[in-house]
């Protein structure tokens, strides 16, 4: 999936260049007028009568002046930051495709983003699109690419689980190791896309199998599917929320009880 992501990121960067040029020309951002937005930043409590009328016009002039400054100078700095952010994301996708491991490139990406945030902190009041350096613009690339990597990982787990089931149907039990699936059921032992090593697999004493990926933290927790974060559990479900991404088995009563407890805790958490 990240093979297509590199093309998508390149396309988005080209779109950002054209988009920023259009913003400079029209001062329109979706259904929002940038001049109106800038004018509102000068506003305080509205006054009635002539004073309020004059204040509105002064705010409008201030918004136009600020937009002109952004258009002629600050917008190019903001465009550069957007392109640098996209470049870091592209480097991550290319690295993951070349090495077969996503997490090492993610660490480098996060460092590049941290450096970029530091440069933005000086100019963030000038930026109209990126906004605050702690906002969603920087986090969105990290989140989207991580979700792509997890999807690729789940796809590999699914293909491997199908091969294991086919082996079981033919032989009556599951293999001792994944290499027993090659070449009859798989062309090669599947790797964990997150760390580049083979997917973890072992037989259980009850004759079933344990198949898993190391998950986002890159640590092999022995196939531990439990989650310590009820918010992640509620948003992504038990598969991606676990310490490891474990191919699901029939849930035990204890596991069901823990899942419902965490789900209920997330549902009843007080609003922030």
Same domain as 161, residue 84: no
The answer to whether residue 42 is domain-embedded is: yes
Percent over 70 (pLDDT), the chain: 75
DSSP strands (E only) in the chain: 28-29, 32-33, 200-203, 209-213, 245-246
Domain membership flag for residue 181: yes
> Does 243 reside within a domain?
yes
Q: What is the CATH number of the domain that holds 169?
A: 3.30.700
* 252 assigned to some structural domain: yes
Q: What sign for the dihedral angle of Cα 102, 103, 108, 112?
A: positive
Residue ending a domain, among 80, 101, 134, is 134
List the single range of 13-22, 156-165, 233-242 with lowest mean pLDDT. 233-242
Same domain, residue pair 21 and 129 = yes
Say whether pLDDT at 57 is over 80. Answer: no
* Residue 189 resides in a domain: yes
> Are residues 19 and 128 both part of a single domain?
yes
State whether 243 and 190 are in the same domain. Answer: yes
Last-in-domain residue among 134, 166, 184:
134
How many domains would you assign to the chain? 2
Residues 111 and 169 in one domain: no
Question: 76: domain range?
Answer: 2-134
Query: 77-103 pLDDT, tens per residue?
Result: 888 888 998 999 999 999 998 999 999
Please report whether residue 272 resides in a domain: no
pLDDT at 53 over 70: no
CA distances from 176 to 7, 34, 87, 138, 156 (A): 40, 63, 43, 44, 19
% of the chain at pLDDT higher than 90? 34
Looking at the fold, whether 76 and 118 belong to one and the same domain comes out as: yes
pTM: 0.73
Q: Which segment of 40-44, 132-136, 178-182, 241-245 scores lowest on mean pLDDT?
A: 132-136
User: What span, in angstroms and rounded, lies between the C-alpha atoms of 61 and 72?
Assistant: 17
- Asked whether residue 31 is assigned to any structural domain, the reply reads yes
Phi, psi of 14 (to 5 degrees): -65, -40
Domain termination site, one of 134, 163, 189: 134
**Domain shared by 7 and 67, yes or no:** yes
Burial class (CB in 10 A: 0-12, 13-18, 19+), 92: buried
pLDDT at 123 over 60: no
Whether residue 17 is found in the same domain as residue 129: yes
Residues 91 and 35 in one domain: yes
pLDDT of residue 54: 59
Whether residue 219 is predicted with pLDDT greater than 90 in this model: the reply is: yes
Statement to judge: residues 262 and 157 lie in one domain: yes
Looking at the structure, do residues 130 and 7 belong to the same domain, yes or no? yes
Residue range 159-176: mean pLDDT, rounded: 97
How does DSSP assign 82-129, residue by residue? HHHHHHHHHHHHHHHHHHS-SHHHHHHHHHHHHHHHHHHHHHGGG-SS
Same domain, 105 and 163: no
Asked whether residue 140 is assigned to any structural domain, the reply reads no
Q: What is the dihedral of CA 190, 192, 197, 198, to 10 degrees?
A: -30
The string of pLDDT tens digits covering residues 136-158 is 566 777 788 888 888 899 999 99
Reply yes or no on whether the pLDDT at 48 is more than 60.
Answer: no
């Amino acid at each position: 999936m990240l093979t297509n992501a590199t093309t998508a990121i390149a396309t988005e960067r080209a779109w950002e260049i054209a988009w920023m040029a259009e913003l400079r020309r029209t001062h329109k951002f979706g259904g929002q007028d940038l001049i109106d937005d800038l004018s509102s930043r000068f506003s305080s409590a509205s006054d009635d009568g002539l004073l309020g009328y004059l204040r509105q016009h002064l705010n409008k002039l201030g918004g136009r002046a600020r937009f002109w400054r952004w258009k002629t100078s600050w917008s190019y700095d903001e465009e550069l930051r957007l392109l640098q952010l996209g470049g870091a994301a592209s480097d991550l996708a290319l690295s993951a495709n070349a090495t077969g491991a996503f997490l090492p490139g993610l660490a480098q990406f996060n460092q590049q983003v941290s450096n970029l945030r530091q440069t933005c902190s000086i100019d963030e009041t000038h930026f109209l699109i990126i906004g605050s350096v702690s906002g969603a613009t920087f986090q969105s690339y990290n989140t989207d690419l991580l979700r792509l990597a997890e999807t690729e990982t789940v796809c590999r787990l699914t293909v491997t689980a199908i091969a294991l089931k086919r082996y079981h149907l033919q032989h009556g039990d599951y293999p001792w190791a994944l290499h027993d699936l090659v070449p009859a059921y798989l062309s090669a032992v599947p790797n964990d896309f997150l760390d580049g090593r083979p997917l973890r697999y072992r037989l259980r004493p009850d004759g079933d199998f344990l198949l898993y990926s190391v998950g986002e933290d890159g640590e092999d927790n022995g196939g531990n599917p439990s989650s310590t974060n009820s918010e992640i559990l509620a948003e992504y479900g038990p598969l991606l929320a676990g310490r490891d991404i474990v191919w699901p088995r029939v849930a035990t009563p204890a596991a069901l009880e823990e899942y419902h407890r965490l789900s209920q805790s997330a549902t009843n958490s007080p609003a922030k």
